[in-house]
Structure 1
């Protein structure tokens, strides 16, 4: 049985980003869930993390548990997801902010997120 795609995200962080971006929580949750599902539909969460770990300049895996991957990736990854999900600039900015805040709450050393973009993936 798969985990809820939004299991990696805390309600308080979702609410804060919703307030800051002026996107209703249910809409932001739907956007974030669609992103998680998109990753699951691609090669799969574990497979895409494996690919990214072999493809990028620096191992992007910052943190891993049984439930979540936290990665620091080149920002162009978000542009690709934004296009694939047909997100507006505002929606993409909010989704990126959600991932950034959640990632920073899960790791002690957040320096990697100052140059690269945070991506939080719920493991299935």
Structure 2
């Protein structure tokens, strides 16, 4: 397929998480998360800001950039707030009757509340979605 550069406002990533059910067995939750795409510098700032936020929360010294430029502070109060801001859609999420569950910020907040196991996978998914797909050998 020819490469035709174009602005892409949305990037998607497959999410798959095993969660425990009420009887202790596991079930695989799989769907595709859609995120608002970040430009290169914004992505770097978000990544470095997240790293420093995590280091500070553990009482460790933050990282510094080799070029000496300051790393912007992490702008979110929580991982949930980051996801509510960055996620713009999903596919493969169903409602109780088996139909497609429409995406909204409220629906996302509800899903995150019911399935906190999804938060780390969705958080990592944002950054992995910007890395590109792995090449097959």
Same fold flag (TM > 0.5): no
The structure with the largest helix share of the pair is: 1
Using the size of structure 1 for normalisation, the TM-score is 0.34
Report which of the two has the higher share of strand. Answer: 2
Structure showing greater radius of gyration is 2
TM-score by length of 2: 0.32
User: With CA pairs under 8 Å and 6+ residues apart, which has the higher RCO, 1 or 2?
Assistant: 1
